[in-house]
Amino acid sequence: MTMQPTWPDHLLSLEEWSALPEDSERRFELAEGVLVVAARPIARHQKLVLRLGTQLETRSGGRYDVLPEYEMVVDDGPAATVRVPDLVLAVADLPDDTPRVFGRDAVAVVEILSPGSRRLDRVMKYSEYAECGVPYYLLVEPGPPVTLTEFRSTGEAYELVTEHRGTATLQLGVTLDLDALG
């Protein structure tokens, strides 16, 4: 017999979000206090996350902690927003017991586009990450070929830096081999 979870009937705060039980079967985010459930990514998506994360980690010279599917607080107001990007780059040496990072403390966020997330990643998360102060936003189109679009913050908005294919030299000081990802 499977127990059905009791779902909140009101907008959640960050404190209430933190008190929710862990669930490894579903992927949750919090959008303006509303609990959002998404399907787990397919194998190809997960392979891209792993390969890209490995390149970012090894080629950054230890400057960043690269965290896959790590909670990032976009807004800690009464109706909080917590996103779970494919990858978060934070300043190196983040304490191991840190449960989440605040957007203002992230260096970059990476989202890999998939059929169920394209609009969310290109519109909603794009504006949320800019508003909370994430300096760089990287959108990856799985392709083939794999394409990485790099955006840089101008304050509360992003501007396009460039669209990369093949070799990507990012403003973060990291050069990636995009062909090796696919």
Q: Is the peptide bond before 145 cis (omega within 30 degrees of 0)?
A: yes
| Predicted local distance difference test score (pLDDT) of residue 23 | 81
Cα–Cα distance measured from residue 112 to residue 29, given in angstroms and rounded to the nearest whole number: 16
Cα–Cα distance measured from residue 112 to residue 87, given in angstroms and rounded to the nearest whole number: 9
Q: End-to-end alpha-carbon separation of the chain, Å?
A: 41
| Predicted local distance difference test score (pLDDT) of residue 7 | 65
Cα–Cα distance measured from residue 127 to residue 148, given in angstroms and rounded to the nearest whole number: 18
| Predicted local distance difference test score (pLDDT) of residue 1 | 42
Q: What is the pLDDT along the chain (182 residues), one digit of tens a residue?
A: 444 556 678 899 999 999 988 887 788 999 999 999 887 888 899 999 999 999 999 999 989 999 999 999 999 999 999 999 999 999 878 888 888 999 989 999 999 999 888 898 999 999 999 999 999 999 999 989 999 999 999 987 999 999 999 999 999 999 999 999 98
Q: Structural domain boundaries of the chain?
A: 41-180
Say if pTM beats, i.e. exceeds, 0.85. yes
- CATH dotted code for 41-180: 3.90.1570.10
Measured CA distances, 117 to 1, 14, 40, 47, 122 (Å): 32, 23, 11, 17, 8
Cβ atoms within 10 Å, residue 84? 17
**DSSP assignment letter at 9:** S
